[in-house]
Structure 1
Amino acid sequence: MSSGNNSMHGLNNHRFQAKNSDFVNRHKIETHLAPTKQKEDNFISFQDREAMELYSRARMQKEEIHSLRQQIAVACLKELQLQNEKYTLERKVSELRMAIDEKQNEAITSALNELARRKGVLEENLKLAHDLKVAEDERYFFMSSMLGLLADYGLWPHVTNASAISNTVKHLYDQLQSQIRTSYDRIRDLTREGGTDAGAGSIDTDRHGVPMHTPNAADRPEPTDNMPRTIHDDSHSEMKNLLHNSQMQQLFNNDSSQGFSFGSNRENLGNVPNALDLRVARGPEEMNAWFPSTHNEIASSISEGGPGIEGFQIIGEATPGEKLLGCGYPVRGTTLCMFQWVRHLQDGTRHYIEGATNPEYVVTADDVDKLIAVECIPMDDQGRQGELVRRFANDQNKIKCDLGMQSEIDAYISRGHATFSVLMLMDSSENWEQATLILRRSIYRIKIDSTEAIIEERFPKEVSV
């Protein structure tokens, strides 16, 4: 039994030792495997976190991809809309270009038409300027001739305009007609005093031996009521009548009892009684042969080296407000000089300055940036004209303002307004009123100081101040 028990006890010990060894081995294994297992758990947890991160990242990327796809879709829609708008705008731009091209063509056509019209207007203006120049030259020559004719009889108009010359010629005509009637009345009285019984139209001799002639009704002058009263009806025939009447006045208007005065043509008449006899008997037709026409003398005197003026010059400073004086030395019997100041424009035309017919001339603002000249025609006592003399002011340079005046003008322009004290011509040449002139950029105003009346007017569009 004991052996059995011992064997049992040994078996149990062996089993216990085996169990202990197993436990120890297991414990060692567990102790050995514990770090590994911990590492595996840590690795598994690390892998789980990484997987979670990857998953979340993948999810976020998927959401981002989805969002980007939505944005791409929206962008595609916007691109389509922009393409449509682009096509619409391109179509509108093409239409606008076509409209612009059409407008440009119309503008070019209109400009060409305007250029053609302006060319026609310029040509017409040049033609009118040339015609005006010719007319002014003719007017100047006619007025000079008329002034020379009036100067022969000692008549000097106060102003050299058409009205004054016409009135003076009318006065001369009436005076000569009156003298002719007086001369015929004297002839008739002398004839009656002679006691002749001859019929009308007979020739007698007065107490000094001069043959006298009683005019017939056909030889007598027409009544003054039937005679022309102005020079505008028939200027040529009336000029001839004036010349004949002036020569008859030289024959009969002499209070001296020694004979008739024939002026400078007396020595060419030969026997005075016979000359008078022929002239009275044969009528005015024969008078032209004995008395040369004054008009012909005037026309021929230019080519015969008649009156003249030497050293003709202009004295004075050619600036606005200053006085210029045309002067020279008269030669070859010059007793009269007719002056005319002329304004020369940039286009070659010239304008006679109205009223500037004296040797002295005051430069005005209208002369600035222009050439001014004075023309002089010398004449003698017989009405013969010499060659026209012309002299330009400022050495044939344009009239300029002095520095002080220009600076003052610039100051007025910069301020935009200016005020001046002026004299205003009212209803007559002797009625001047003190007034104030106010200039602005768009209007000008004149205020009369005495009556406080205001005259205001706006400048036209083509005028800039």
Structure 2
Amino acid sequence: MSSGNNPANGHKDNGGTEERSLESASSYNLEASSVPKNVKGKENLSHSLDQEMMDLYSRKRAQEKEIMYLREQIALASIKESQMLNEKYALERKFSELRMALDEKQNEVINSASNELARRKGDLEVNLNLLNELKVAEDEKHIFKSSMLMILDEYGALPHVTNASALTNSIKHLHDQLQLKIRTSHARLVELNSMIGDNSRNSYIDKEIPSLRPESSPFPSSSLGFRGFSQYGHYIDGKNMEPADDMSRYMQADDPNKGLRQSVEMHQPPDNEHFQRTSPNFDRSKIEYRNPESHMADIMPERNGLLSGSEQRAVEQFPRSPMMQVDRVASFGSEEDGPGIENFQIIGEAKPGFKLLGCGFPVRGTSLCMFQWVRHYPDGTRQYIEGATNPEYIVTADDVDKFIAVECIPMDEQGRQGELVRIFANDNNKITCDADMQEEIDAYISKGSATFGVLILVYTSENWEPATLLLRRSGFQIKDGRKQDVIISDKYSKELSIKIPSGFSAQFVLICSDGSSYPFSTSNDIRLRDAVVLTMRIFQSKALDEKRKSKA
């Protein structure tokens, strides 16, 4: 079965070879065609693997970044936590301190409350004591008032009303009447003694008429001041006023600036020579104005008590005309019997801001002169000016449209009281402003406003502070001189008042409608002070008139 032996087989073998070659060729072609397919598949596989690896890598990087970020956040959170813990500890410490401070405050409040209760208890005890004292004082006042009414009823001088002013005036009038009777009795006794020269007859008269002796008089006339008045009320235009600084009631005559001492040395009248010869201890250099207020208080404590306090008034009916130039009340039978003062006069211009001087020539052993300036009103009433007990007097705004007089009572070293001498200033005419001041005030009134630079004494400071006083038709304002802040702003009312102290003072006190008071000063310019007061009073009067007209 060899292939060379049989051509058919050879043909078959060739055919098989061809088949195998074709199969191998086809398989080769298949292999050749499948090789690029495999390469391409591998490439696709590797590409897909690379893409997946890239995704995984990117995820890994993102997660690592996230882990790093979270770590940073954790670190920051831990730092913040530590800070918050520190703050917590600090707040806890502060809270504990606050609790301690609160406890201390509570203890202080408790202590202060207990102290306040103790203080209130003490105040209640003081109030109870004051109430008891007030009751005692009211009882004493009632007893005193009843006694005064009994005395007035006994002499038939009961007033129509029983207030303090009426009782005071009635007691003073009764005292004047009794003193006048005593003086009349003294004069009658002197006349009888001059007519009867027999000593036995004189002793008989003394025995028969003991009430005519000066020693037996229950009303001593040598130490009572003006007509027995130991004190004088202090009123401005009918309104009660606080007492000003006490000025010496009596001036020393050995002052070289005073004219009374010079007059008594240079103009000694012949009537006094006999007195000097018969008095070996008399020395004119010792003539002085003494202060007998303590002696007066010892002699008449009841009168001093009656005329003191808020019930003291000095405005009484003046029965004689205020135009009378000199009014004399005799204390002795004749002018030659006791001390006196001659050529009594007032020197100076009677205008607001100017000084007046009452002076004269002391005669018949006069060693003491008691002065009192009196303000007379057009309706016939008069008012003793508080503190005006010196020969010198400064005319103020309170004296405008009124009469001003000075009363003088001379006394000798034995305490004998001479006749009272009264003389009116300004030639018995009302006190008016000078032409310049009146023109200035009229200009303010016509304009309807006025501005003044003053000094005010505020309660928060002890020094005078500059201020501006603005006056208007309906009200007034007071502004601070530096900051221009409004200190006071008020309308004119009946309760508004202005008080002027007596003496050499440029001050005045403004009392508002609510009762508050404000001291003012015009820097020692008394004339400016009076201009301010007069202008404000005129504005007040016009505003009150307008209110009355509007109500009508």
Q: Return the TM-score normalized by structure 1.
A: 0.40
Determine which structure has more spread, i.e. the larger CA radius of gyration: 1
Q: Which has the higher contact order (CA 8 A, sep 6+)?
A: 2
Q: Return the TM-score normalized by structure 2.
A: 0.34
Normalized per residue, the structure richer in helix is 1
